[in-house]
Each structure stands twice: as structure tokens, then as C-alpha cells.
Structure 1
Amino acid sequence: MAYILLIIGFALLIKGADLFVNGSSNIAKLLRVPTILIGLTIVAFGTSSPEATVSIIAALEGSGNVSLGNVVGSNIFNITLVVGAAAFLYPLKVESETIKKEIPFTLLASTVLLILMSDIALQGFSSNLLTRSDGFIFLLFLTIFMYYVIEIGLKSRKDTADEPVPEDLSWGKNIFITLLGLAAIIFGGNLVVDNGTEIAYSLGMSETLVGLTIIAIGTSLPELVTSISAALKKESEIALGNIVGSNIFNILFVLGSSAAISPIAVDDKVFIDVILMILLTVVLLVFSRTSFKVGKREGLVLAAAYIIYLVYIILRN
């Protein structure tokens, strides 16, 4: 029964994220918010909403290891399999802003995470912990990122000021769709956390491992669906930006909120995963700088890297 409820939870997360992104995007159009702002905020936040819901619920229930494993696992999944699959279908064009600012900002956020969780090595404490203070530091970094995004939006506002609002868009319908999507995400997130944790314990898995695998893959499905859809529509220039934006939200908003609610104990094994996440972000930056695109060959390398990583963490348990 737990497996069925887990699948239902994932289905609700995916459909909920889809409704949330569509409704929010339409509201942004009604408000005449620039498209670039929609991509960096609403789509990135929308596809990160399952991670946020699952991690915050886990934090409230005292399963902090699920939160950390979920974020790190989701980010690795996004950089490798999501970008890899999308790039294999259609080469991903990379905006210069993504190379100069957004991927480096992801690297900065990942490095800050590594520093804040290294209490034993850096401060001589008896255990590694992401405290409430650390959570608020992440949220402060998030406000810096949001300031940057809003600045971009204001600069490009002139480009969309004269665009007509589609006649078929209505406020009532899109507010309803957005709220319905949010409700599905929250309910689905509850099902995923409860049943994923139950299955993990029955299989002898640790909370961290289930966060890195089952829950991370499940909550990253919206990113996978969104990026593959963008690649198939040959709108590849937005796909990579959305993934990078989603990874930034995962660390700064998801982990920040989770740690602010309840301090997160850090499993020693997660350090390897965080270091790997940083290295993979560097690899993505290098790939992006080659002709300002991620091609099929690079896509295959990234996808293969995830399969190797998945085998490694399962064997490690």
C-alpha cells in the first residue's frame, strides 16, 4: 500500500507543479511581468515546489536528513540527468547571463552549504549541524538573488510593456489553477515523505539515502518534464536557465526554510555528495562555455555520470 501511495504522491506533485507553473505564468502575463522574470522565478520556483514541500514537511516532522538528502540529490539529478536528457534531445543554448552570473551563483550557494555544514572540521564541534542561524543565512542569500532577478526584470520591462495581454486569459481561472496546483503539491508532498520514509525503513535504508534517491528523483520529475518539453519545442535557451534557477532555490529557499524550522543533523556521508554537486556544477560551467551550448555529447556524459553516481550511493548504503 505504501508503494501505491508513494506513486499517487509523485503523480500529485508532477500535476500540481504543472498547474502551479501554468497558472502562475499566466498571472505574470496578466501583470505584464517580463518573460525572463517568469523563467528565473515562477518556473524555477514552481518546479522546485515539490522539493520545498517535501523538505519543509520532513523538517516539521523531525526528519531533517530527508531534507538535506532531497536537496543535494535533486540538484545532482538536475545537473546530470535532466540537463543530459534535454541536451541529448536538442542541444541547449546557454545565455551569457547564465554563464557569467547564475551558474557561478549556484557554485557560491553550494560552497556556502559545504562551509556551514562543516562544524567539526572548522569549529571543532562534536557534530555537524545546519542550525536555524544557517537557515537564515541561506534565506539572506536568497534575497540577494531575488534582488538580482528583479533588477533583470526591471531592465527588460520595456521589452514587454507594449505586448498585448492574450484575450483568453482570465484572473479567476488562473488564480484557481494556481491554488489547485499548490494544494496538489502540498498533499502529494505529504504522501511522498510519509510513504517514502516508511519504505526506506522497511528496506533498511537510511533517511539520507532515501532522500538522495527515491524522494530526490520523484521531486525532480517536474524539472525533467519541463526541460525535456522545452528541448522538444526547441526552446532550449530557457531549459538550462530554469534548471540553474531551480538548483539555487533548492539550496537557498528549501534548505534555508527547512533549517530555520528545525536544525538539520548532517550525515557524514553527505559531504561526498555535496563535494560531487560542486564538481558537477563546475563541469556544467565548462560545458556551457564551449560554444555557448551543451551538446549531445556533453549530454551523454552528464547522464552517464548520474547512473554511475546512483550505483555508487546504493552500494555505499
Structure 2
Amino acid sequence: MSAILLVVFGLLGLVFGGELLVRGAVSAAKSFGISPMVIGLTLVGFGTSTPELVTSLQAALSGSSGIAVGNVVGSNIGNVLLILGIAAMIAPIAVDAKAFRRDGAVVVIATVLCLGTVLFGEIDRLIGAGFLLALAAYLGFTLWSETRAGGTPAAAVYENEAEAVPGPETSVPVSMLIAVAGLVITIVGARLLVSGAVSIAEAAGLSEAVIGLTIVAIGTSMPELVTSVIAVRKGEGEVALGNVLGSNIFNILGILGVTALVQPMAIPAEIANLDVWVLCATTVVLIAFARTGWTISRREGALFVLAYAVYLGVLLT
């Protein structure tokens, strides 16, 4: 019972803390005159992935590499099958072809890099540094190309992501205080979640990787779910898709990269045997659905959610 309470309070801390962190950081950035496109591409992407980052770092430092790696792989699977599936079931999602060709290609590249790392069996500091350099290159190229082109649909998506962050703008000191408070709450939440997840794994006879792929991954993906649902309800389905694509890129290149730099990890064999292949299949199906009429329909969203339910059933049985 105590382990369940730790997980519940940990998840609440991650969701609430992550929300405060994003709100504070975005408000401060707007006060400094940073463009909405830059805010949407960087702060919103980093901010919504903060729960995954802090949780994976905490897990790796605690010696629970199964939770650390499972959190990233499971979050990316859940982002597409669960979050994008739910969003598409609420309203069909229009896909901007030009933006998707670039960001979709980067998602594929990041997924292939993740596959190679998992099959290699470990992620060391050199691989982590390579991931972070790849992320920096992606962000730099995107900012350069969108600034040069000016007023593109892709830039509009990033701007809408920035505008989708709720809450009034405040002064810089107040915004920074909100962001710091959010970060502290997120860190505490991650510690509670990892502690509770390890205890549940031991009590239930499940591996830490399975717990990371399910309870931890779903919990840390809640900010993406909230952002995506709000976006589609406002008729901005492209924001929901951009949020998922950006999160998946950040999760692999940023979170695995930072975590490996701090604490190199061995990859659990069970993730190499099943889950990374599910991630690859999910990415391929996402590309296929998005390119068919450049729309993700309600039916395709329902198929995503059904596939996620089947995947969870396989994991837990």
C-alpha cells in the first residue's frame, strides 16, 4: 500500500511540477522577447519531457537501468499509440506535409539510433554525447531553416505550441520562481515514483523494465497527453502531432543522452527482445498513417489505442 501511495504522489508531483516548470519557463521567455517559434520548438519540447528526464536520471543513479530505459522506450510507444490515438479519436488530425517530412524523418533516425543502442546492449557516455550532438544539430537546423523561410506552416505549429501553454504572463522574477518550484516538485515526484515503482516490481514479481514501460512511462507522459487533448479540442490537431513528434525526439536524443552522460547504463535484455521492436513498428505505422491523405483519422486513432491495449496486455501477462 505504501508503495502504491509513493507512485501516486510521485505521478502527481511529476504532472503538477512539470506543468509549473513549463508555464514559468514560457512566461519568462516571452518576457525576454524570445519568439513564439523558438519557445515552442525548445522550451515546450524540453519542458513536457522534463518528467521523463528527471525520472530516468533518478532511476539510473539508483541503479535501476530497467526503469530508466523502459521509461524512454515506453513513453515513446505511449506517445504515439495512446496519446496521439486519443487525440485523433477526439478529432481527426491534419498533417502538414513539409513539416512532417523533416520531423518525421528525424523521429525515424532517432528510433533507429535507439534500436542500435539497445541491440548493442549498453549506452555509455560516448553514445550519450553523440545523442546530444544530434539533438543540437536538429534544433539548430530547424531554427535556421524556419527563420530563413519565414511564416511557414511548421513555424506556425511551433508558435501554436507556445500559445497552447496555459496561464497568464507574469514578471520575470515570478516566472522564474514558478519554474524553479516546478523543477523542485518534479525532482521530488521522480524520487517518490522510482522508489514506489521498484517496491511494486519486487512485490509483484515483475521486472523493473516492465514497471518502467508501463506505470512510469504512462505517468511521465501525462504532460504530453494534457497538451495534446487541449490542442485538438481547440481545433489545433497539428499541435498535438508536433508535440508527440518533438517529445519522441527529445526522449531518445535528449533524455537518453543526458542520462548516459551522468550514468552509463546496461540495457535490459527484455527491452531488446520485444519493446524496442514495438517502438520501431509504432514509428513505421505512424509514418504510414500520417502519409495516407496527410490526415490521422478517428479510425486510425482507435487502432492506435487498441494496439496499445494489446501491447500492455502482452507486457503484463
Instruction: Check whether TM > 0.5.
Output: yes
1:96 positional shift: 2.7
1:23 partner amino acid: G
Which of 302, 305, 308 is the matching residue for 1:306?
308
Q: Deviations over 1:208-233 (max 9, x none)?
A: 11111111111111111111111112
Q: Deviations over 1:247-296 (max 9, x none)?
A: 11110111111122222112222122112111211111111122322111
2: CA distance, partners of 1:39 / 1:286: 26
1: CA distance, partners of 2:277 / 2:197: 25
Structure 2 equivalent of residue 148 of structure 1 = 141
**Contact 1:18-1:222 at 8 Å conserved across structures:** yes
1:153 positional shift: 5.4
268 and 24 in structure 1: CA distance in 2 versus 1, 3 angstrom threshold: same
The within-5 A match list for 1:84-163 is: 84-119=85-120, 128-152=121-145, 154-155=147-148
2: CA distance, partners of 1:239 / 1:175: 26
Kindly, what percent of the aligned residue pairs are identical? 38
Q: Which runs of 4+ in 1 moved over 4 A?
A: 156-160
2:307 partner amino acid: A
2: CA distance, partners of 1:118 / 1:95: 33
Q: Deviations over 1:105-135 (max 9, x none)?
A: 111011112112323xxxxxxxx22222211
**Contact 1:2-1:198 at 8 Å conserved across structures:** yes
2: CA distance, partners of 1:153 / 1:13: 32
**Contact 1:130-1:265 at 8 Å conserved across structures:** yes
2: CA distance, partners of 1:32 / 1:88: 36
1:36 positional shift: 2.9
Structure 2 equivalent of residue 252 of structure 1 = 253
1: CA distance, partners of 2:252 / 2:99: 17
Structure 2 equivalent of residue 266 of structure 1 = 267
The within-5 A match list for 1:278-293 is: 278-293=280-295
2: CA distance, partners of 1:219 / 1:288: 25
Q: Please provide the CA RMSD for this pair.
A: 1.9
1: CA distance, partners of 2:39 / 2:111: 24
Q: Does 1:43 align with 2:44?
A: yes
Structure 2 equivalent of residue 210 of structure 1 = 211
**Contact 2:68-2:212 at 8 Å conserved across structures:** yes
1:177 partner amino acid: I
2:195 partner amino acid: D
1:246 is paired with a residue whose SS is helix
Q: Deviations over 1:79-122 (max 9, x none)?
A: 10100001111122222343211111111011112112323xxx
The within-5 A match list for 1:58-69 is: 58-69=59-70
**Contact 2:93-2:237 at 8 Å conserved across structures:** yes
1:152 positional shift: 4.4
Question: Gaps (5+ residues) in structure 2?
Answer: 156-167
1:205 is paired with a residue whose SS is coil
1:310 positional shift: 0.5
Structure 2 equivalent of residue 226 of structure 1 = 227
2:269 is paired with a residue whose SS is coil
1:239 positional shift: 1.0
Higher mean C-alpha deviation, range 146-155 or range 87-96: 146-155
Structure 1 equivalent of residue 81 of structure 2 = 80
2:181 partner amino acid: L
2:302 is paired with a residue whose SS is helix
2: CA distance, partners of 1:287 / 1:274: 20
Higher mean C-alpha deviation, range 25-34 or range 85-94: 25-34
Q: Does 1:239 align with 2:240?
A: yes
